[in-house]
Structure 1
Amino acid sequence: MPYSQPPPPPNHQHPRPSYPPPQWQPQRPRSGGGAGAIVGGIFGVVAVVFVGLVVIGALVKGGRHADPVSPVAIPTLTPFERPTSTPAASESTESRLSETRKDSTETTVTRPAKQVVNTSLKNNTLYRAGSLPRVSCPAGSASIYSHSQLKALILKTSRCLDRGWAQIMRAQGLTWKRPGYAITSGRGRGACGDFPSGGSIVPYYCPRNETIYASTTAMVKGSGSSGGYGQLTDWHGGVVSMMAHEYGHHIQQLSGLSNEWWGQTLRSSSQSGKLALSRRFELQATCFGGMFMRSVSASYPVTPARRNTLYYFYSRVGDWAGNPRDHGSPANNNRWFRQGYEKNKAYQCNTWLAPSSSTS
């Protein structure tokens, strides 16, 4: 049954897709799935609820063998599109010390004159950022069943995410800033609405205030008929990788991918078209999460056995029969997490150039 979306901000100008909540009933293996509540706009203050992937499947503990699928291969980096405008002939490049633009929150950003930032989906400047550098980020033995321990781990690893992504984004002339965090043990209300939404377990990223919201109890133990991540693995790497997915939405926001995706969504004339765009958007965030887990694998650590736990984890989350196809099939969630983990290149997470079969 459809649920009510969080109320839009006063300047909200666009209709919002409305999907049923994720459902997971263990006694019915085919039920369950992930549904994202999307709220946003192209200009001005946007409010898009970026939800994480939803756990579904059989009740299990610990690691399993990886789903036997091959990562998606995107062999080359597509050249950037040529700029649509150039400086006037009388104004030399050398004389133009900087150029400014207005970002989506009306902040003036100064950039070097020779750097042209591309915000398109297929040729975004972010894709030239390369690999996330190796980051030292020992996780310790935090229990996912302790709110204080899990919250501390999430905030600790968020600094590791900062160190990696800030470095490669700034190198490409992209603005980077740290997202905010609101981590509670129960339920709460954020700038984009309640978290988690009724019957859901997933955290969400709200671009209105660039904050990630999450309930540790819902994520780990579940909510309503939705099972928790702790029913797939009691290792904290599963939850942290999901938070890395939400951080991936922050990277999409800062690089302009979010606005471009939402603009195309609004222009799409069919529900199937909107869902196809949503899947590419969410799978890209999953790929970015895989990049992060690879970058900390030596120190976290993510051993080969734990890597397989993550592969299994991502083969059990995504869209399932009877639910909206807005996050991608479990097989493709597994593929794109592996793509990020094994390739660890920003352009290898370019879901917008991938075949539709890998984003179904």
Structure 2
Amino acid sequence: MSDTTIPGTSGSPGTPRARHARHAKSPAQPARDPRSPKGPGPQDAKPAGLWSDAWHDLRRRPLFIASAVLICVILLMAAVPQLFTSVDPYDAAGCRLGDARQAPSSGHWFGTDSQGCDTFARTVYGTRVSLLVGLSATLVTTLVGGLLGLVAGFRGGWPDALLSRVAEIFFAVPSVLGALLILAVFRTGTMWTVMLALAMLAWPMTFRIMRAAVITAKGQDYVIAARALGASGGRLMFRHILPNSIASVIVVATVNLGVFIAAEAGLSFLGVGVQSPSISWGLMIADARPRFLEAASPLLFPAAFLSLTVLAFIMLGDAVRDALDPKLR
């Protein structure tokens, strides 16, 4: 007896219903263009913010790259001076009066000073004091001035009026004269007193810049919307306003760092800043000035390091400013 397939049954491979079932197993997929890129589409891409856009722009600026490389070398010199010289300038045994005021040579790359000490070693070790004063003063002025400017710009009213009047009093005092007066009163000659004297007179500039940025930011739509949703004052200040107001303060802080380093050198040169046995570039320039015509290298090399350091931080501040300000691109 032969097997017979009943027409119209689902098990029959030749029936129309079976053929339709085979074709309906999987839905039709659209053909993919082989030229289309792999990965998520434009709708899945993460939107670029201010900082990521600024970093992308900074990496293409030769000015930023050159200043960043120079600053990294200076920071390494201040952190680990033993990588650059094996001579310890704080060791009195390394200074020989018989080698005083020698010209640059293979044994002393920058020559020697009036005490017979190696100028290159003193220049390398002097980086730490000058850089610490600049970094500390910048940190204090940014924190104090930025916080007071945030409160004054956000609160308004009598807190704004009071803080603004106090800042104007400090603005009325000339920076160099005020620092000279403060350091002459304390007479300690340490880098911390120099830092405090500079920070005490410089915070009003950061205060005014932050205050103006906060006043502009707190009238934006996203702040008004967050306030309408019930956000507290602290959340509005630190979550919404501060991230959108800090860019200008960072630019000013970068430039001020170089200014503070130069100010420390000037105060030490005048005799009211860092005192011996500490080593700083300004103190080295002051010690070498009377013998400049006999030996120029003890003055020229620390002055060159000072100029390059200040120039590097100012160039970095200019590059950051251009990257964070879309109008300057």
* Class of the TM-score when normalised by the shorter of the 2 chains: under 0.3
Structure (1/2) with the larger strand percentage: 1
Q: TM-score, normalised by structure 2?
A: 0.26
Kindly indicate whether structure 1 or structure 2 has the higher relative contact order, using CA contacts under 8 Å at least 6 residues apart.
1
Larger Rg: 2
Structure (1/2) with the larger helix percentage: 2
